[in-house]
């Protein structure tokens, strides 16, 4: 019973990460497409930064749950996927450094770091998920089928990023995002791309056998109730974040304090 509850929690955080984290990663991938000059790119970055901390913690939580509640699965996945996980974390760091530095200095190297880092992260996820979907959990999968699925996943990240940009931006960057993603409403488009990513995680998760990989019952009986008890607090923080930053990022007139 506790094992099932732990598995539900693991699935919940993994899904949360791909839906939320995927949104700002996708927007980062398309930074040069959405923002064609320095001022437009500033606005795209400004659309991402209030969210990226709150979004990436879902992956930290997923990894923590894996280590704490399913050490057996972790011992199988991590060494098998070693180079992909190294690439994922390296891309993640490059992207975040780019975002942090961009909040202080407007340098083209920051934009390159954000874009290249986001593509690396999306590519690593594409490959990992493609492997899991084809049933390979203990090594890096290969072959044309895996490459095709990985490309589709990377594309999905990008489209989801555009849907996120449609919720956050105004003006020309918004028009560019709308032109690619079709005529449905902004919120409806985001809901559709989010659902597609969620289905992808659930499908990949269903292929991973969890049985026999959980932590000892004495540990789970303490860990799982504690995590469910704090869950409302975690979600409250996320809801507050989305409420506080619900407004679109507008252009700032030259000479305003926002311009530097």
Report the interface residues with other proteins, using CB under 8 A. 42-43, 45-46, 49-54, 56-57, 60-61, 63-69, 71-72, 74-75, 78-79, 82-83, 85-87, 89-90, 92-94, 96-97, 100-105, 215-216, 218-219, 222-223, 226-227, 230, 233-234, 237-238, 240-241, 244-245, 249, 252, 256-258, 260
Closest distance to other proteins from the beta carbon of 222 (Å) = 6
CB closer to other proteins, 183 vs 212:
212
CB closer to other proteins, 90 vs 184:
90
In the numeric block, which tokens belong to residue 189? 């488009």
CB closer to other proteins, 58 vs 157:
58
CB closer to other proteins, 13 vs 157:
13
Closest distance to other proteins from the beta carbon of 192 (Å) = 26
Closest distance to other proteins from the beta carbon of 183 (Å) = 28
Closest distance to other proteins from the beta carbon of 112 (Å) = 13
Closest distance to other proteins from the beta carbon of 178 (Å) = 21
């Amino acid at each position: 019973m506790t094992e099932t509850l732990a598995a539900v929690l693991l699935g919940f955080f993994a899904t949360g990460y791909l839906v939320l984290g995927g949104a700002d990663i996708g927007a980062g991938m398309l930074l040069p497409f959405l923002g064609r000059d320095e001022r437009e790119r500033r606005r795209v970055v400004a659309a991402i930064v209030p969210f990226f901390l709150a979004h990436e913690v879902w992956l930290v939580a997923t990894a923590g749950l894996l280590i704490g509640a399913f050490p057996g699965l972790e011992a199988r996945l991590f060494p098998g996927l070693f180079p992909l996980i190294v690439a994922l974390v390296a891309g993640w760091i490059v992207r975040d450094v780019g975002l942090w530095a961009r909040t202080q200095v407007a340098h083209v190297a920051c934009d390159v770091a954000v874009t290249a880092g986001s593509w690396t992260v999306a590519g690593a996820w594409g490959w990992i998920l493609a492997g899991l979907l084809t049933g390979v959990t203990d090594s890096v999968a290969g072959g044309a089928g895996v490459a095709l699925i990985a490309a589709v996943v990377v594309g999905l990240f990008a489209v989801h990023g555009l849907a996120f940009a449609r919720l956050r931006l105004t003006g020309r960057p918004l028009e560019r995002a709308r032109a690619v993603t079709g005529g449905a409403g902004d919120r409806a488009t985001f809901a559709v791309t989010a659902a597609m990513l969620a289905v992808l995680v659930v499908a990949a998760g269903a292929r991973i056998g969890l049985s026999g990989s959980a932590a000892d019952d004495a540990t789970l009986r303490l860990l799982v109730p504690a995590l469910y008890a704090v869950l409302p607090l975690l979600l409250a923080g996320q809801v507050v974040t989305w409420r506080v930053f619900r407004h679109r990022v507008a252009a700032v007139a030259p000479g305003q304090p926002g311009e530097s």
